Structures are given as C-alpha cells and as structure tokens.
Amino acid sequence: MTDAEIPFRVGQAFDIHAHTDDPARPLILGGVVFAGVRGLAGHSDADVVAHVCADALLGAVGLGDIGQMFPDTDPAFAGADSVELLRRAASSVRAAGWRPGNIDCSVVLDVPKLAPEKAQMQRNLSDAVGAPVTVTGRRTEGVGALGRGEGIAAWAVALVAR
C-alpha cells in the first residue's frame, strides 16, 4: 500500500512545561485561564494542552512539530495564543490533504482541578481543530516532579483522514 492509499494516520505527542515563579503569568490550559494558580514557563502563553494537541496533529501528517512551525526563537510568537497556533496547525494539516478526525488528550497535574472547566477547554480546542477534542485529567498522587507541583505534562493522540 502506498502512502497515497492510506486512508487514516495517527499521531501521538507528549509535552511538559515547568511552572514559573512569575506572579503575572496566568495558567492557561485548553484556552481557559485558571485564576490563582501559577502559570507555566514558555515562549508563547505556554498552554501545554494546546501544544500537545498541535504536535499530535502535525506528527500524524509528518509536518514536524509545534517548535518547528512556531519556533521559540521567533519574537513573533512571544506570548502567542496557543489555541490560535493549534488552529493554524490544523489548517496546515488540511492544506496537506488530511482532515482531523479527533484528538484525545490526557493532562497530568494535581492542581488545578480540570473538571469545572473541562467542557470549555474541549469547546475551545474542538473549535480550533474543527473536530472533536476530548480532555481528561490525571492526578499524580504526589509522585515525582509533577507530584511536587513543578509542572504540568500532557499526552495526546490524533486521528487524521484523507
């Protein structure tokens, strides 16, 4: 079977961001601001959930990763809205002849609780991708660097179709 005959492809991604000590930096996950929680370090708005979704989509199609498409050495992306970067990544996937089918994302953190904002996160991400995006939270039970509150990690799997 040639690459042109493959009707579906799958991409998976992992991302992790450390918390910052900058009190002015908000925590943004899935395009939702979580008030009263330390933000994440990063060149853009550091939305680890949007980043991992973009990486899974780009990987499924073989378009590299978010760091290649939106390099942290480019001042144009300083403080960028990561949900908008996800929207642009999804547009690139379509331009390459694929359409996003869905993305499933797991976020590993103890604080904040995602449940109160999960539906809004999913709406923001799904709107950007143009396909369903699901988000689930996983607790660390106090294990390791994430359990000590040093950062937040996320995994995502994306399905694309011709």
Neighbours of 130 (CB within 10 A): 14
Number of domains the chain contains: 1
pLDDT of residue 139: 94
In order along its 162 residues, the chain shows pLDDT tens digits of: 777 788 999 999 999 999 999 999 999 999 999 999 999 999 999 999 999 999 999 999 999 999 999 999 999 999 999 999 999 999 999 999 999 999 999 999 999 999 999 999 999 999 999 999 999 999 998 899 999 999 999 999 999 999
pLDDT of residue 43: 95
Which of these, 108, 112, 84, 106, lies nearest to 158 by C-alpha position? 106
pLDDT of residue 143: 92
Are 49 and 30 spatial neighbours (Cβ–Cβ below 8 Å)? yes
Distance CA 47, CA 28 (A): 5
CATH number at residue 89: 3.30.1330.50
Range of the domain at 147: 3-161
105-129: burial string, b at 16+ Cβ within 10 Å, e else: bbbbbbebebeebbeebbebbbebb
pLDDT of residue 4: 76
